[in-house]
Amino acid sequence: MEGILKLCVLGGDRRQIAMTQRLSADGYRVSMWGLGSCHDEVEKARICNDWEEAIADADVVILPLPVSLDGVFLNCPLESPNVFLRLSALTERIGGRVLLGGKIGEPMYSSAMERGIRVIDYFQSELLQLKNAVPTAEGAISIAMKELPITIDGLSSAVIGYGRIGSLLAQKLRALGADVTVYARRKEARTMAELAHHKTRTLSDADEYASLKALPLGCRAIFNTVPTRVMTKEILESVPKNCILIDLASAPGGIDLAAAQELGLRTVWGTALPGKCTPESAGWILAQTVEDFLEELF
């Protein structure tokens, strides 16, 4: 495409503000709407009074992560409560442009495709997932530091799952002096954890995760990254009362929160930690991801 690419950023939280800063600094022409009062933070971007003005001459429309909380309206948490933008109205006006968004629901995806809009869900990017593991892991440790009356150094902890987030989390915990036991299904994952000098135990649904009843001695923190209900009420009955449970899995999560509350256990469902804990870094990650897609498209 000849000339400077014109981007439009609609809605979102402080991650989108940081993303806009980075995209503008990298030479893109950016218009924006739905991010509240952020004039001093995005001097190079054009802040529009309404969303139709923002998308008027845009080549690419960039929506937040997630695009919507209810499947009907655009996610605009920084705007006043009476500001709404229906997704259906947006897809009707975008035309043949390129649409990027995070966790785009099927109705909007299908509607946009029917109108000839090229749709990309950037949340599906493996690179984004890998990079987001860093702020997620750090956010989880930050929660543990805030909620526990003891240091991470010397902490007896359990990390359930050893994927992108679990492996990085275990690494960072150990670097801070924690004693880490990793619970993983695959033998390869347990071997990798052992090579990283973690203790390991088998996580198998064949025995309904009974291995989780054998928590590390003096365990004070359990971090779950498995998006399957592994911490059932039966398992939770074995958890010490002075132990905090931090669930990092996406909905419905891996910990039975209702059962944990009934048993008097402290639980935190650490969803969307990159946006909550480190929005600037998370916004830069989004900008890098968007730019990767733009390089492929144009």
- What integer pLDDT is reported at residue 21 of this predicted model? 95
**What is the gyration radius of the CA atoms in the chain, in angstroms?**
22
Place of tokens 């001097």: 43
Helix (H, G, I), strand (E, B) or coil at 280: helix
- What integer pLDDT is reported at residue 4 of this predicted model? 85
**Of the candidates 142, 114, 291, 144, the residue with the CA atom closest to the CA atom of residue 221:** 144
Give the integer Cα–Cα distance in Å for 110 and 75.
19
Burial class (CB in 10 A: 0-12, 13-18, 19+), 114: exposed
Q: Across the strands, what pairs with 2?
A: none
- What integer pLDDT is reported at residue 208 of this predicted model? 72
Give the integer Cα–Cα distance in Å for 245 and 236.
10
**Of the candidates 50, 55, 47, the residue with the CA atom closest to the CA atom of residue 16:** 47
For 125, other C-beta atoms within 10 Å of its C-beta total 20
- What integer pLDDT is reported at residue 172 of this predicted model? 98
Full-model pTM:
0.91
- What integer pLDDT is reported at residue 206 of this predicted model? 72
Give the pLDDT of the chain (298 residues) as one tens digit per residue.
Answer: 456 899 999 999 999 999 999 999 999 999 999 998 886 788 789 999 899 999 999 999 999 999 999 999 999 999 988 889 999 999 999 988 999 999 999 999 999 999 999 999 999 999 999 999 999 999 999 999 999 999 999 999 999 999 999 999 999 999 999 999 999 999 999 999 999 999 999 998 777 788 899 999 999 999 999 999 999 999 999 999 999 999 999 888 999 999 999 999 999 999 889 999 999 999 999 999 999 999 999 9
**Which residues are CB-contacts of 86 (< 8 A; sequence separation ≥ 6)?**
72, 73, 74
Residues 294 and 4: beta-carbon distance below 8 Å: no
Q: Across the strands, what pairs with 245?
A: 222, 267
- What integer pLDDT is reported at residue 6 of this predicted model? 96
**Which residues are CB-contacts of 176 (< 8 A; sequence separation ≥ 6)?**
141, 152, 153
Q: Across the strands, what pairs with 7?
A: 30, 60
- What integer pLDDT is reported at residue 194 of this predicted model? 98
256-262: long-range contacts at Cβ-Cβ below 8 A with a sequence spacing of 24 or more? 256/229, 256/231, 256/232, 259/232, 259/233, 260/231, 260/236, 262/233
Helices (H), the chain: 14-25, 51-55, 87-94, 106-114, 126-147, 164-175, 187-195, 233-236, 257-262, 273-277, 279-297
- What integer pLDDT is reported at residue 42 of this predicted model? 83
